[in-house]
Amino acid sequence: MTAPKIYGWCPGALRPMVSGDGLVVRIRAPLGRLKPDQTAGIAALSLRHGNGLIDLSARANLQLRGIQKAEYAPLINGLKRLGLIDADIRRESRRNLMIAPFWRRQDDTYRVARSLAQALARPDAPDLPGKFGFAVDCGPAPVLCASPADIRIERAATGLICRADGMEMGLQTDAGSAAQVALDLADWFLKTGGARAGRGRMAQHLATTALPKRHDIPRLAAATPPGPGVGTHGALVALEFGQIHAQTLAALAPLGPIRLTPWRMLLLEQAHRLPAHPQLITHPHDPRLSISVCTGAPGCKQSLSETRALARKLAGVLPRYASRPVHISGCAKGCAHPQPCAVTLTATGPDRFDLIRNGRAADAPARTGLHPHDILNGEL
Ligand code: SF4
């Protein structure tokens, strides 16, 4: 089996990634929010220039799939008209910012996210590795701790902290200075050799390098992200395996602005009840919520097998197994769930999977060479 290729950067709109079904064009919505005309516009562009499939990434970005080369320029022009394109690639790749979706205008999350986005757009902003990102998570309890980020701004008992990923505690700050404190920490990361050949993550760097100041302020206890349902911030709906069809997205546009989450869910800001749509998951115990699955073949060129049809079939039998979390990965890279999972099925060839217990996609398997038939009929 050939090792999967690690790119070391995330696709953007101005820097798309080639995949098995065409280009993947990632949209980083300002403040993680889409106005109704933007939602409707993205859906129309996906149908016109792509294959109509849109992913919601683990960093709360939308990815338009299946863009053929000739369609790329008109797509970007369309996204520009919607106000969703940065001035240049440098600014786009630096704006690697994830925002807890439950913010209100003028609260700390909103203020810090705006200041940080402006600071990252300045010409003197640090040139960080492509996957290096920030999480702004200043609500009453952090909800992004399990989502990928290198520098996190979170609430403490008093004020806010700026926390380097991998550390339990952070540096005291407040909404007025948090963006600058985060940039200073990013500068320190670069000056102390955290990035090599355009790659590097904070937690890896801290394994060998001590922070310059004492980070000794604890954050508040983390909260588990909510499931689908209606809450004070609107209605959360989940997407089957993190993907939505453009027509379904278009149907959501008239319901008001949408916030993107890193949990395969969309927050409909103004909805007071859950929309009834067969492609949206609205029940918190839907077995599909227990399955993470990557694009698989043929959409990803690196995939050794089809994965999504298996995931759909598995969802039908999963209640038999008390809905233990399952991760299905088209190769050992494990894009859909980089963390360990109770059960991971890693493709090793067409319709052949290794089974890993309590591990990652690349870990040693407990069983090898399983066919989907074994998986659907056997004991997981
Ligand atoms: S994990 Fe899935 S999406 Fe990621 S590279 Fe492998 S096959 Fe492709």
Percent of the chain with pLDDT over 90: 91
- Identity of residue 349: G
317 is a domain residue: yes
Closest ligand 1 atom to 19 CA:
8
74 and 21 in one domain?
yes
SS3 content of the chain, % helix, strand, coil (to 5): 30, 25, 45
CA neighbor of 205 nearest in space, from 151, 146, 152 = 151
Question: Which whole number is the average pLDDT over 140-144?
Answer: 96
Residue 297 Cβ contacting ligand 1 at under 6 Å:
no
Q: What is the DSSP string of 253-296?
A: GGG--EEE-SSSEEEETT-SS----TTEE--TT-GGGGEEE---
Output the pLDDT for position 358: 96
118 and 200 in one domain?
yes
Residue 133 Cβ contacting ligand 1 at under 6 Å:
no
189 is a domain residue: yes
20 is written with which tokens?
């098995």
| Residues 336-361: tens digit of each pLDDT | 998 899 999 999 999 999 999 999 99
- β-pairing, 326-329 vs 341-349, is parallel
Residue 305 Cβ contacting ligand 1 at under 6 Å:
no
203 and 95 in one domain?
yes
CA of 294 to the centre of ligand 1 (A): 6
Residue 310 has φ and ψ, to the nearest 5°, of -60, -40
What CATH number should be reported for the domain holding residue 315? 3.30.413.10
83 and 102 in one domain?
no
Residue 115 Cβ contacting ligand 1 at under 6 Å:
no
Using pLDDT thresholds of 50, 70 and 90, give the confidence band for residue 198: confident
Question: Which whole number is the average pLDDT over 7-19?
Answer: 86
Residue 330 Cβ contacting ligand 1 at under 6 Å:
yes
106 and 78 in one domain?
no
Asked if omega into 298 is within 30° of 0 (cis), the reply is: yes
Test site for ligand 1: of 6, 10, 294, 306, most ligand atoms within 8 A of the Cβ: 294
Q: What is the DSSP string of 43-85?
A: HHHHHHHS-SEEEE-TTS-EEEEEE-HHHHHHHHHHHHHTT--
pLDDT tops 70 at residue 2: no
| Residues 108-126: tens digit of each pLDDT | 999 999 999 999 999 999 9
146 and 247 in one domain?
no
CA of 110 to the centre of ligand 1 (A): 33
In sequence order, the 6+-apart residues with CB closer than 8 A to the CB of 47 are 246, 247
12 is a domain residue: no
153 and 39 in one domain?
no
Using pLDDT thresholds of 50, 70 and 90, give the confidence band for residue 8: low
Output the pLDDT for position 373: 94
Output the pLDDT for position 5: 63
Q: Residue 252 burial by CB count (10 A; 0-12/13-18/19+): exposed, middle or buried? A: buried
118 and 39 in one domain?
no
1 is a domain residue: no
CB 125 within 8 A of CB 93: no
Q: Residue 182 burial by CB count (10 A; 0-12/13-18/19+): exposed, middle or buried? A: buried
Per the structure, the count of domains in the chain is 3
Closest ligand 1 atom to 301 CA:
8
204 and 107 in one domain?
yes
What CATH number should be reported for the domain holding residue 81? 3.90.480.10
Residue 334 Cβ contacting ligand 1 at under 6 Å:
yes
Percent of the chain with pLDDT over 70: 97
Output the pLDDT for position 129: 94
Residue 331 Cβ contacting ligand 1 at under 6 Å:
yes
Question: In Å, what is the CA distance from 25 to each residue of 5, 22, 60, 71, 241?
Answer: 19, 10, 14, 11, 18
Residue 329 Cβ contacting ligand 1 at under 6 Å:
yes
Integer Cα distance of 300 and 335 in angstroms: 11
186 is a domain residue: yes
CA of 224 to the centre of ligand 1 (A): 26
CA of 92 to the centre of ligand 1 (A): 24
174 is a domain residue: yes
224 is a domain residue: no
103 and 117 in one domain?
yes
Structural domain boundaries, residue 325:
287-377
Query: pTM for this one?
Result: 0.93
| Residues 201-260: tens digit of each pLDDT | 999 999 999 998 889 999 999 999 999 999 999 999 999 999 999 999 999 999 999 999
Output the pLDDT for position 323: 65
69 is a domain residue: yes
302 and 245 in one domain?
no
Integer Cα distance of 252 and 159 in angstroms: 36
